[in-house]
Amino acid sequence: MATKAATAQPIGGAPLPIPEALPADGFSRWNNLRGLVPFSRETLRKREKEGRFPRRVHLTQRCAAWPNRELHRWFADPVNYRAEA
């Protein structure tokens, strides 16, 4: 029996899927998020800079990823999300 996934509502857009495959802990890179966020990488970067999307963490000099706990907070309420300073 299939269950319906919960969804979040961004302003004027289609519902966002709550990622069932995104672990609660750990980090995710852009390739993991591409199918889950409803906008481009550049829009994500702009929202991150404005504090409306979780901030990346640099794991190495050339490798950056987003903390999954913060991503889950964003998926729960993308309209009212504000990154902690």
pLDDT tens sequence across 44-66: 999 999 999 999 999 999 999 99
14 assigned to some structural domain: no
Total count of domains within the chain: 1
The predicted pLDDT at position 35 comes to 87
Q: Which pLDDT band holds residue 3 (cuts at 50, 70, 90)? A: very low
Q: Which pLDDT band holds residue 1 (cuts at 50, 70, 90)? A: very low
**Structural domain harbouring 34:** 22-76
52 assigned to some structural domain: yes
The predicted pLDDT at position 16 comes to 61
Torsion sign over Cα 9, 14, 15, 20: negative
26 assigned to some structural domain: yes
State the Cα–Cα distance between residues 35 and 54, nearest whole angstrom: 17
State the Cα–Cα distance between residues 15 and 7, nearest whole angstrom: 6
Instruction: Tell me what the pLDDT averaged over the chain comes to.
Output: 84
Q: Are 13 and 38 in contact (CB under 8 A)?
A: yes
At 74, give phi and psi (nearest 5°): -65, -45
Higher pLDDT, 81 or 11: 81
